[in-house]
Amino acid sequence: MALLTCPKCGNKVSDKASKCPKCGYPIAGILSQIKDEEEGRKAGDVEATHPHEEKEAQKVQSIPSAAKEQSVASENEKPGGHTGKIAALCAAAALIVAAIVFFLVGGKKGGNAPAENVSVENTVASNSVASEEKGVKKLSTSKTSDPILISLIENMVYVDGGTFTMGAEGNQVSGAENDEYPAHKVIVSPFYMAKFPVMQKEFEAVMGYNPSLNKAPSNPVENVDWNDCQAFVEKLSEKTGLGFTLPTEAEWEYAARGGKLSRGYRYSGSDNIDEVAWIDSNSGKATHAVGTKKANELGLYDMSGNVWEWCLDGYDSYGAHRALSTEGDAPVIDPMGRNESDKIGRGGSCLNPASFSRVANRDHDGVGKKYGNLGFRVAIRVGF
């Protein structure tokens, strides 16, 4: 008996079972997925379907599988078909067994795209299960009937609080700027973070207009200043009955790093910038629809690249952060920059090089500044 990983919920399931006992996902579906992964691996590289995308997950892997099935069907129709059917069934069984062995021994770590995607989904699923076990309040959509706003609420991701090192250290040092030092310990309370930057259709649904220069409904809204963001979260809170806000800089960096699920990537979700971000070298110097790159460990998209994102607090030195601690080098709890006229921007953009999309990189602008590569995402504090 071998144990398989359910791609829907992450539960370990016997290959003898007919379905996952936890979520009901059919085991036949798991075996079929493993078979497709093995065939896709043997088939070699196939050109990516997206013109700007380089990651392995976008490769077409269904073609080799379909060709294999057609070949087996043709063999069964030949004269002496009974022998052909037996041979085909034996070959198929051997392939499935070999695929199971490959999957259990190391398929997930071998760069096989579907297995990697399952791993990301399982990680995000475990984050959701953890939030339910902690009794976290489920966000209500009952105050609005607007499908755009309902979708926005349903795409708020729970981020469990924790301690992390904020600033430049390790793989963040290369390309770091002076204001990223000193690296220091920070404690962040739990909160919800939007899965995507605020989209143009969402901004228009709340505010009644679209200020963006590169107009497309699912692209991030841009050309907004910090005060515009404040007006948006205030109206959004009124329409939904929820306490929306901008994330603080500490919340933003903690979430970009993957929170408690962090794997220590240089960019949000990967060490390979092209997997996770639209930057100057791959974007055509324009914003793109949100969620078209890979998510980070928490299931958040576009935390690196596409548009810079306004944060709630003002721009202060990290020395000022540390001064908030009452016990010397003790972690600072939920720090907030106190500068009222100069606010933080994070994440880099489609017009900037990769180093600006590092999770520790900082930017700042006056509250009235607007640019075609500057947007925002929303957050909700737990216990709002």
Q: What is the pLDDT of residues 133-162, one digit of tens each?
A: 455 678 999 999 999 999 999 999 999 999
What pLDDT score was predicted for residue 320? 75
**More confident position, 118 or 82:** 82
CB atoms within 10 A of CB 62: 10
75 pLDDT band, cuts 50/70/90, is: very low
**pLDDT(326) > 80:** no
Angle in degrees, CA 123, 99, 76, rounded to 5? 135
* Mean pLDDT, residues 300-321: 93
Q: Which helix (H) or strand (E) holds 34?
A: helix 27-43
Provide the 3-class DSSP secondary structure of residue 13: strand
105 pLDDT band, cuts 50/70/90, is: very low
Closest CA to 308 of 257, 271, 361: 361
**pLDDT(81) > 80:** no
What pLDDT score was predicted for residue 288? 98
Dihedrals phi, psi of 83, to nearest 5 degrees = -65, -40
Rg (CA), the chain: 24
Rounded to whole angstroms, the Cα distance separating 304 from 267 reads 6
What pLDDT score was predicted for residue 138? 85
Q: What is the pLDDT of residues 357-366, one digit of tens each?
A: 999 999 999 9
Rounded to whole angstroms, the Cα distance separating 177 from 170 reads 14
Which contacts (CB < 8 Å, 24+ apart) does range 148-152 have?
Answer: 148/201, 148/202, 148/205, 149/202, 149/205, 149/206, 149/236, 149/239, 149/240, 152/194, 152/202, 152/236, 152/378
Give the whole-number percent of the chain exceeding pLDDT 70. 62
Q: What is the pLDDT of residues 259-293, one digit of tens each?
A: 999 999 999 999 999 999 999 999 999 999 999 99
Query: Strand runs (DSSP E) across the chain, as ranges?
Result: 3-5, 12-14, 156-159, 162-166, 184-188, 191-194, 244-245, 308-314, 332-333, 342-346, 363-366, 374-375, 379-381
What pLDDT score was predicted for residue 284? 97
20 pLDDT band, cuts 50/70/90, is: low
Domain ranges across the chain: 3-119, 136-381
**More confident position, 205 or 35:** 205
383 pLDDT band, cuts 50/70/90, is: confident
Look up residue 234 and give its two tokens.
């205030």
What pLDDT score was predicted for residue 49? 29
**More confident position, 105 or 233:** 233
What pLDDT score was predicted for residue 175? 87
- Average pLDDT of the chain is 76
Rounded to whole angstroms, the Cα distance separating 254 from 164 reads 7
What pLDDT score was predicted for residue 251? 98
CB atoms within 10 A of CB 257: 25
pTM equals: 0.67
**pLDDT(34) > 90:** no
**pLDDT(319) > 90:** no
Q: Is the dihedral of CA 140, 261, 346, 294 positive or negative?
A: negative
Look up residue 329 and give its two tokens.
């080098």
Q: What is the pLDDT of residues 190-227, one digit of tens each?
A: 999 999 999 999 999 999 999 999 999 999 999 999 99
Least confident of 5-14, 185-194, 245-254: 5-14
* Fold observed for domain 136-381: paralog of FGE (formylglycine-generating enzyme) (3.90.1580)
What pLDDT score was predicted for residue 329? 74
